[in-house]
Amino acid sequence: MSKLIWFSLLIFSIPAHASDDALSTVSERSGFVQTGRYAEVIALCDSFAKAYPESVRCIDFGTSPEGRPMKALVASTSGTLDAAGARERGLPVVLIQGGIHSGEIDGKDAGFLALREILEGKVAKGALDRLVWVFVPVFSVDGHERFGAWNRPNQRGPEQMGWRTTAQGYNLNRDYVKADAPEMQAMLGLVNEWDPLVEVDLHVTDGAKFEHDVSLQVEPLHAGDAELRKAGRAWRDGVLADLAAQGSLPLPYYPSFVVYDDPASGFEDGVAPPRFSHGYFWLRNRMGMLVETHSWKTYPVRVRVTRNAIVSVLEQVAQHGRQWLRVAHEADARSSHPGKLAVPLAYAAGKESHLVDFRGYEYTRTPSEVSGALMTRYDESRPQVWKVPLRDNVQPSVSVVPPAAGYLVPAAHAAWVGAKLKQHGIEFRTISAQPRAAVETFRASEATPAAASVEGHQRMALKGEWKAETRDIGDGALFVPITQPKSKLAMSILEPLAPDSLAGWGEFNNAFERKEYMEDYVAEDVAREMLGKDPALKARFEKRVAEDAAFAKDPQARLDFFYRLHSSWDERYNLYPVMRTDAVPD
């Protein structure tokens, strides 16, 4: 019997609930063909809290731009349903979010199913005694209500679903660090309040057709604190084993081909940058898991697999959570004293690879009569094991030695940078004037703006290095100490070479744009005067003209040679405004 049939039979063996059952979903009552609207989430949140008042609390943690309440269910049978109580009792908190891309809505229906079955004592018995589960059925609530068929054209079911982005056009799973969207700011508030040990983000992947039905990616595993990596690997491997025992074919890496649409190119593992949920939480010394069911499986299969993943996560945390929580707190202490070793802020897989067995289907690659492009066509009736390369030697690609004391944000940028740091729960304070402070500054040797907008930003690629100098720091600047548990997150936001830094997202682009110019006729006079007064400069200029053909042929470069040496040159051009310091300010 094929796994698809086996899972379908398993799902439809669930006892049917009457249509007026307050704790069942539209999806369940339809045989997992449909999914409900957001009004159902609001009603179910209240119904679960009413049916289980000692074990479930329904909360609002934000309001969407279109005015919808952002709902979460807090579930525990431990005797506490609040964040302070969880901290006092040393209970691990599990945050599970569905619908960050609300067309990929498996997590909503699977989460409500899992919650009811757990509360009824059918699965994960006793798990909620030992943890607090915060369940966000739909993160992108406005996107959920942009409802229709074909909103996910590469996905089998449900009949209708929500949209990938928010009403303001944000992709929330690109927003964790920059936190532009009101929804993300609300989520970070929830995260700061509850400080979850683990976060699980429930998705549906696009891509090729193959037999594998789910993939998991966890960090820390390649990245982050060394001891917490061990916990991350144990958590991932435990959930993989549970899913395999329930008939799934789970993968420990994201199944996206190295070369688009070419199965022979194989796969590459890695660490997602922190714009993604599972690339964000390791920077807080917490664990994040990306669950991706496969879009070409039917909706009943995907909901069941997602439900199994949720149950497994809760069982694993119930069993090991207190130990992992202790490791996380020890990682906080280590992060508060980072020392002088380089801190990795980005990772990439090396070029080396090894062959893996991958459960695919027979396929052909032939030119399309429609587009003319080479296209891959799969025969789902003929399973085939592919032997393909996997690149999984993941190593740091960007590492930075932290400042001894911390970062200085000038007063001109203090308000908006401070607001961003506060959203992430990063410590900082306002300082008084620091005349002639010994600092490090970063001046870009290259600043290349992106050709196209990304998430409403013009991203900036920088090259350069930190150098010591003396500068006056005015009243109202911010000091961001490196001695804090979220030191790696602070570095990821403030280090200009980090992939999702404020600078990388183009928030400081003004610093890398020339605003003042010297007219050519003025530059000509200035150059002649400088050449006449400084024989050494004259010799340097003539040597450059003789040896650098490109320079010699570029009139503007020749004039800029002198302009850059003139007192009118903008010394702040290409100077990143944020500074580093090795001394704690008074």
Taking only the tens place, the pLDDT of each residue in 141-168 is 999 999 999 999 999 999 999 999 999 9
Q: Which residues pair with 365 in a beta bridge?
A: 376
Which of 186-200, 245-259, 560-574 bottoms out in mean pLDDT, i.e. has the lowest? 560-574
Say how many C-beta atoms besides its own lie within 10 A of residue 139's C-beta: 30
Q: Are residues 305 and 402 in the same domain?
A: no
The residue-averaged pLDDT of 279-287 equals: 98
pLDDT of 570 reads: 87
| pLDDT beyond 70 at 193 | yes
Q: How many domains does the structure of the chain reveal?
A: 3
Q: Read off the pLDDT of residues 338-391 as tens digits, 9 standing for 90 and up.
A: 999 999 999 999 999 999 999 999 999 999 999 999 999 999 999 999 999 999
Positive or negative, the CA dihedral 356, 360, 366, 368 is negative
CATH of the domain at 102: 3.40.630.10
pLDDT of 14 reads: 44
pLDDT of 21 reads: 81
| pLDDT beyond 50 at 547 | yes
Its pTM surpasses 0.75: yes
Say how many C-beta atoms besides its own lie within 10 A of residue 85's C-beta: 14
pLDDT of 549 reads: 97
Q: Are residues 196 and 62 in the same domain?
A: yes
Q: Which of 316, 335, 354 is the last residue of a domain?
A: 335
| pLDDT beyond 50 at 12 | no
Q: Are residues 60 and 188 in the same domain?
A: yes
pLDDT band for position 5 (cuts 50, 70, 90): very low
CA angle 439, 442, 445 (to 5 degrees): 150
pLDDT of 583 reads: 97
| pLDDT beyond 90 at 2 | no
In a domain, 353, yes or no: no
Q: Are residues 96 and 234 in the same domain?
A: yes
Angle between helices 555-563 and 535-547 (to 10 degrees): 150
Q: Are residues 457 and 543 in the same domain?
A: no
In a domain, 362, yes or no: no
Q: Are residues 506 and 535 in the same domain?
A: no
pLDDT of 517 reads: 87
pLDDT of 149 reads: 97
Distance, CA of 79 to CA of 321 (rounded, Å)? 17
| Pair type for strands 198-205 and 429-431 | unpaired
Q: Read off the pLDDT of residues 380-431 as tens digits, 9 standing for 90 and up.
A: 999 999 999 999 999 999 999 999 999 999 999 999 999 999 999 999 999 9
Alpha helix ranges (H) inside 379-496? 411-423, 487-494
Q: Are residues 425 and 552 in the same domain?
A: no
pLDDT band for position 206 (cuts 50, 70, 90): confident
CA angle 564, 566, 570 (to 5 degrees): 60
In a domain, 100, yes or no: yes
What is the residue-averaged pLDDT of the chain? 95
Is 501 in contact with 493 (CB distance < 8 Å)? yes
| pLDDT beyond 70 at 327 | yes
Q: Are residues 19 and 164 in the same domain?
A: yes
User: What residues make up the domain containing 553?
Assistant: 520-563
Is 219 in contact with 279 (CB distance < 8 Å)? yes
Residue 580 vs residue 570, higher pLDDT: 580
Q: Read off the pLDDT of residues 440-457 as tens digits, 9 standing for 90 and up.
A: 999 999 999 999 999 999
In a domain, 413, yes or no: yes
Q: Which of 318, 335, 352 is the last residue of a domain?
A: 335
Tokens standing for residue 231: 């916990």
Q: Are residues 468 and 320 in the same domain?
A: no
Q: Are residues 424 and 292 in the same domain?
A: no
pLDDT of 177 reads: 98
The residue-averaged pLDDT of 111-126 equals: 98
In three-state secondary structure terms, 367 is strand
Q: Are residues 504 and 535 in the same domain?
A: no
Q: Which of 335, 358, 374 is the last residue of a domain?
A: 335
Q: Are residues 310 and 426 in the same domain?
A: no
